[in-house]
C-alpha cells in the first residue's frame, strides 16, 4: 500500500472535477458553504487555510458530499488533510467513507468512493413489506451500516437489508 504523500495539482483536479460534474454532482458554492457552516454551528477542528472544494449530489432524499482537500483560491491541495465521502439524510450524516490519504491514486480512489455513494443514494432500497424508503442504520462495528425499515403501521417486525444490497459487481 503506497504511503508517500502525492498532492494533486490543479490540472489533475480540473479533470477530476469535470468527471464529477458529468456524473451529476455539483460544486458547493462559497455562500452555500458559509450558510451551512453558520446554520449548523460548526467549528473547524483546527485552524484551516482557504476553503476546500466540495461537491454534492441528491437522490431519493439522500445527499452525497465529497470533500476533496483542494483549495479553490490557491489552486492546490492542503498540505495536511484527507479526502472524504459522506451520505447525509437532511443535516444528519449517516455514512462516512474511510478517510482517503493523498497518495498516488487519491483522486481516482475519491472518485470511486463518490461513485459508489452516488449509486447507493440512487438505488436506496424500498422496504419489501411496505414500499417505504429504507433508512441507513448503524451496525455494531465501526463504520458498519445496513438498511432498515421500522414501520409498525405496516409490519410488526423491523425489516433489514444488508448495506451492499443489490450493489453491482463493479462496486464490490
Q: Give tens-digit pLDDT for 121-132.
A: 999 999 999 999
Task: Quote the radius of gyration of the chain (alpha carbons, Å).
Answer: 18
Q: Is the pLDDT of residue 117 over 90?
A: yes
Total-model pTM = 0.90
Q: Is the pLDDT of residue 30 over 90?
A: no
What local confidence, expressed as pLDDT, does residue 38 receive? 77
Strands (E), 13-172: 26-27, 52-59, 62-71, 76-77, 84-89, 92-96, 135-138, 145-149, 159-162
10/71 Cα distance (integer angstroms): 10
Q: What single DSSP character describes residue 166?
A: T
Residue with cell 465521502: 85
102/104 Cα distance (integer angstroms): 7
Percent of the chain with pLDDT over 70: 95
Q: Is the pLDDT of residue 59 over 70?
A: yes
Amino acid at each position: 500500500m503506497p504511503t508517500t504523500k502525492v498532492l494533486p495539482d490543479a490540472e489533475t483536479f480540473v479533470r477530476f472535477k469535470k468527471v464529477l460534474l458529468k456524473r451529476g454532482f455539483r460544486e458547493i458554492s462559497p455562500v452555500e458553504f458559509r450558510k451551512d457552516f453558520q446554520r449548523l454551528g460548526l467549528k473547524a477542528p483546527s485552524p484551516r487555510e482557504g476553503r476546500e472544494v466540495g461537491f454534492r449530489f441528491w437522490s431519493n432524499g439522500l445527499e452525497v458530499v465529497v470533500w476533496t482537500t483542494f483549495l479553490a483560491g490557491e489552486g492546490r491541495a492542503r498540505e495536511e488533510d484527507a479526502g472524504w465521502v459522506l451520505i447525509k439524510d437532511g443535516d444528519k450524516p449517516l455514512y462516512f467513507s474511510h478517510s482517503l490519504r493523498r497518495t498516488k491514486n487519491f483522486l481516482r480512489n475519491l472518485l470511486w468512493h463518490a461513485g459508489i455513494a452516488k449509486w447507493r443514494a440512487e438505488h436506496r432500497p424500498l422496504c419489501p413489506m411496505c414500499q417505504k424508503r429504507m433508512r441507513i442504520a448503524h451496525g455494531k462495528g465501526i463504520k458498519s451500516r445496513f438498511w432498515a425499515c421500522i414501520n409498525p403501521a405496516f409490519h410488526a417486525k423491523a425489516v433489514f437489508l444488508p448495506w451492499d444490497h443489490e450493489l453491482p459487481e463493479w462496486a464490490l
